[in-house]
Amino acid sequence: MSSITSVELNYLVFRYLQESGFTHAAFALGYEAGINKSPIDGNMVPPGALITFVQKGLQYLELEANLNSGDTDVDDDFAFVQPLDLITKDVYELQRMIKEKKENLQKEREKEKEKEKEKEKEKDKESNRERERERERERGREREKDRQEKERELERDRERIEKEKVREKAKDKEKQHEEPVERDPIKDREEKSNVKHDDNEACGGPEPMDVCTSLSCEISSTDVTILEGHASEVFACAWSPTGSLLASGSGDSTARIWTIADGPCTSSMQNGPSNVLVLKHFKGRTNEKSKDVTTLDWNVSVVIFCFS
């Protein structure tokens, strides 16, 4: 490797002084160093040559200080050194300084990494909290939805109950209209008799037979048989064609068929015959009104007995 001579160095310093404006210093150096006798062609030396050489040397020293044990490849980051340190300190001191700088730099990087990790952890925690808040909001929306659904269900139940009440009232009204109006059976028969009499007169038919009421017939109490059993008034009676059976219909919703023995009444028959057949006309609930038996009749052969 070639080295710079003192003549070349003096010329570089002379040019530096001239370029920097130190005219008197440049004249004194040129006179004492005999620059005018130097074989160096000034036109070949570029401006700022001395500064360029010094910078190159500092870069070389800096590169040398960054190399450890003569390594040619540097994997670590390049550490810059101040020019004053490069000039005043040897290579070993520069290497120690660079090592300390690299260690400090590594510590700073580790701290930065820790900070980044903390930031990531905090970010994850915040994300988890946000997700938890979102889940809580979702649960709140679900609870609100369930509450509204329950309210709608209760409203539907109330409407259904109201409709059922309205239907029940309508049914009760219909039942009231359908139930026959209770009337006095005797008055009904009198009205029917009057209607028939009027019909006969209107149609010109035969007049009803006059019944003589002037003759009185006294019946002894010993000849009377009392038929007991009905819990209400008796509306109709009918003898069977054979004459031994008597049917009676009452307001207690029953029809009874009494077996009446032939011949005069005896003392054992005065309290009523023992052989009685009870026919129930209506089997309903206890709170429903009984149905009256107002009409009954036998057929000719005494096989069928009808009542209503």
Question: Binning pLDDT at 50, 70 and 90, where does residue 286 land?
Answer: very low
Q: What is the mean pLDDT of residues 181-209?
A: 54
Is residue 303 over pLDDT 80? no
Is residue 196 over pLDDT 60? no
Q: pTM for this one?
A: 0.30
Q: What is the mean pLDDT of residues 152-167?
A: 91
Give the residue extent of every domain in the chain: 6-105, 228-308
Of 82 and 152, the structure prediction assigns the larger pLDDT to: 152
Of 150 and 290, the structure prediction assigns the larger pLDDT to: 150
Q: How far is the C-alpha of 225 from the C-alpha of 269, rounded, in Å?
A: 6
Q: What is the pLDDT of residues 101-152, one digit of tens each?
A: 878 888 998 999 999 999 999 999 999 999 999 999 999 999 999 999 999 9
Q: What is the mean pLDDT of residues 279-288?
A: 64
Is residue 92 over pLDDT 90? no
Is residue 14 over pLDDT 80? yes
Question: Binning pLDDT at 50, 70 and 90, where does residue 209 land?
Answer: low
Q: How far is the C-alpha of 254 from the C-alpha of 232, rounded, in Å?
A: 10
Q: What is the mean pLDDT of residues 289-300?
A: 77
Q: What is the mean pLDDT of residues 196-224?
A: 61
Is residue 187 over pLDDT 60? no
The per-residue b/e assignment along 110-149, b for 16 or more CB within 10 angstroms, e otherwise, is eeeeeeeeeeeeeeeeeeeeeeeeeeeeeeeeeeeeeeee
Q: What is the pLDDT of residues 233-273, one digit of tens each?
A: 888 888 888 777 888 888 888 888 888 877 666 655 555 55
HEC assignment per residue over the chain: CCCCCHHHHHHHHHHHHHHHCCHHHHHHHHHHHCHHHCCCCHHHCCCCHHHHHHHHHHHHHHHHHHCCCCCCCCCCCCCCCCHHHHHHCCHHHHHHHHHHHHHHHHHHHHHHHHHHHHHHHHHHHHHHHHHHHHHHHHHHHHHHHHHHHHHHHHHHHHHHHHHHHHHHHHHHHHHHHHCCCCCCHHHHHHHHHHHHHHHHHHHCCCCCCCCCCCCCCCCCHHHCCCCCCCCCCEEEEEECCCCCEEEEEECCCEEEEEECCCCCCCHHHCCCCCCEEEEECCCCCCCCCCCCCCCEEECCCCCCEEEC
Is residue 100 over pLDDT 90? no
CATH topology of domain 6-105: Mitochondrial Import Receptor Subunit Tom20; Chain A (1.20.960)
Is residue 185 over pLDDT 80? no
Mean pLDDT of the chain: 77
Q: What is the pLDDT of residues 59-79, one digit of tens each?
A: 777 777 776 645 555 555 555
